[in-house]
Amino acid sequence: MNIVILAAGQGKRMRSAQPKVLHCLAGKSMLSHVLETARAVGRTRAGATRIVVVIGHGADRVRARFEQEADVGFVVQEPQLGTGHAVRQAIPLLDETQPTLVLYGDVPLLREATLARLLDTATDGKHEGIGLLTVRRSEPTGYGRVVRDWHGNVLKIVEERDATEDERKITEVNTGILIAPTALLKRWLDGLSNNNAQREYYLPDVIAQAVHEGMRVAAVTAEDINETQGVNSKAELASLERIAQRRIAERLMNEGATIADPERIDVRGEMSVGADVFIDVGCVFEGRVELGAGARIGPHNVIRDCSIGAGTEVMGFCFLERATIGARARIGPFARTRPDVTLGDEVHIGNFVEVKNSSMGHGSKANHLAYVGDALVGKRVNIGAGTIVANYDGANKHQTVIEDDVHTGSNSVLVAPITVGSGATVGAGSTVAKQVPPGKLTVARARQATIEGWSRPTKKRK
């Protein structure tokens, strides 16, 4: 089938330099949401799907963003003379033997199931007809109204500004989404006039033409008003964001997560959870996040592109980025991982600890106030409070190797590149810049001395 996505409009009310359809919902642009739905519905049909996006305002930026996606074609509508004119621009790229579904780049929450219902209703046996998606709104102002005859058959769509007083009382409105046989659609679009209040070529006018030719228009009413809701302003974007988040939260709960408050979770990417995961309030999950069974995520964490093992607990207020964390680990509160961290099972990363581009083996701990950067840390290592791995000499970064069973004393500095041999202990307050042999205590600090006969200076009399 063919799918045309309209995305040429300016979206003035967004008050943004960014094209409207590139604004994000749940971490993905509105147009990506629509493309995903389009692909999903395309897959339910035999044969290939041709997707054509009609662009205009900010065309270059929209095209640049989706250029990599081989299954998407673009056509520029310039100037923008209305929705009918927009679809007309796409016709040369369509397969006229297959029907065309029209979607909107700024209607991001439409469900595949609703479209499937529209497609089924429009198809009468083998015969492809016209299907129109409508919705009931208690406040229909601004929308095109669906005018039906006494038998309930759809006659036409009339835009707000062209409607009579009686027609304006109709609460069933046009969503804009429709499907029609392509060859007929082309002919009807060629026959459109702009003799209306807005001097535009209206796509919904094809309905009256079809009816005039004796065709039946199958109307399907969307049950969930949010699905067909377009975004025209930041406020509308924010209200759909909450709905999108609620849908994601429901899916996670179905997968077994307990969510302290489904209204206070933000997922901006792909997320999967095992059974008995617990997520406290105020967490933001970005990119690809996996939580193993029984993982517990405390309040107010930001977790981006992480895999967190079964039974691991992330306490409150952590910022974790690109980390792979094993099972039964304990992270935070107030921990920070920067990209490319691998933590084994039962690792503890405590308060005010930062780990970057490092790995830590099974059971190793950095419980308080430490920086571990560019380090390979073995198993059962204890990084003392205030330990700093000095990985940067001001020009280059170097690696530090800390072998199994090492203990570093409080406030020690390990100047890279060095290896701290297995079982070594580094005395508190040491700065070590040479190899530290295994199994021994290495101390590198001034010896403690007590000065006999010393007295404190006293204040001089004036």
Task: Using CB under 6 A, list all residues that contact ligand UD1.
Answer: 6-9, 54, 77, 80-83, 85-86, 104-106, 143-144, 157, 159, 173-176, 202-204, 230
Is the torsion defined by CA of 5, 9, 14, 16 positive or negative? positive
Calculate the alpha carbon distances from 219 to 87, 123, 144 in Å: 20, 12, 14
Question: Which of 380, 362, 358 shows the shortest CA–CA distance to 371?
Answer: 358
Between 11 and 378, CB nearer to ligand UD1: 11
Task: Work out how close the CB of 229 gets to Ca ion at its nearest, in angstroms, rounded to a whole number.
Answer: 10
Partner touching 54 among ligand UD1, Ca ion, none, CB below 5 to 8 Å by kind: ligand UD1
Task: Work out how close the CB of 32 gets to ligand UD1 at its nearest, in angstroms, rounded to a whole number.
Answer: 15
DSSP 331-345: E-SSEEE-SSEEE-T
Partner touching 86 among Ca ion, ligand UD1, none, CB below 5 to 8 Å by kind: ligand UD1
Task: Work out how close the CB of 95 gets to ligand UD1 at its nearest, in angstroms, rounded to a whole number.
Answer: 21
Task: Work out how close the CB of 334 gets to ligand UD1 at its nearest, in angstroms, rounded to a whole number.
Answer: 44
Partner touching 173 among Ca ion, ligand UD1, none, CB below 5 to 8 Å by kind: ligand UD1
Between 86 and 385, CB nearer to ligand UD1: 86
Between 101 and 279, CB nearer to ligand UD1: 101
Strands (E), 182-282: 217-221, 258-259, 265-273, 278-279
Between 195 and 448, CB nearer to ligand UD1: 195
Partner touching 157 among ligand UD1, Ca ion, none, CB below 5 to 8 Å by kind: ligand UD1
Instruction: Say how many CA atoms lie within 13 Å of 393 toward its Cβ.
Output: 11
DSSP 200-221: ---TTHHHHHHHHTT--EEEEE
Task: Work out how close the CB of 157 gets to ligand UD1 at its nearest, in angstroms, rounded to a whole number.
Answer: 5
Kindly list the catalytic residues: 368
Query: Scanning the structure block, which residue is given the tokens 């094809």?
Result: 206
Residues 6+ apart with CB under 8 A from 181: 99, 100, 128, 129, 130
Task: Work out how close the CB of 74 gets to ligand UD1 at its nearest, in angstroms, rounded to a whole number.
Answer: 12
Would you say 143 and 157 are in contact if contact means Cβ atoms under 8 Å apart?
no
Give the number of residues in contact with Ca ion, rule: CB under 5 A: 1
Calculate the alpha carbon distances from 372 to 77, 249, 282, 436 in Å: 54, 34, 27, 17
The Cα–Cα gap between 19 and 12 comes to 10
Would you say 207 and 156 are in contact if contact means Cβ atoms under 8 Å apart?
yes
Between 230 and 332, CB nearer to Ca ion: 230
Residue numbers 195-234 binding Ca ion by CB under 5 A: 230
Between 104 and 285, CB nearer to ligand UD1: 104
In this structure, what token pair is assigned to residue 323? 């980390």
Between 230 and 292, CB nearer to Ca ion: 230
The Cα–Cα gap between 421 and 47 comes to 63
Would you say 210 and 188 are in contact if contact means Cβ atoms under 8 Å apart?
yes
Partner touching 285 among Ca ion, ligand UD1, none, CB below 5 to 8 Å by kind: none
Task: Work out how close the CB of 107 gets to ligand UD1 at its nearest, in angstroms, rounded to a whole number.
Answer: 7
Partner touching 202 among Ca ion, ligand UD1, none, CB below 5 to 8 Å by kind: ligand UD1
Partner touching 98 among Ca ion, ligand UD1, none, CB below 5 to 8 Å by kind: none
Binding stretches for Ca ion (CB under 5 A): 230
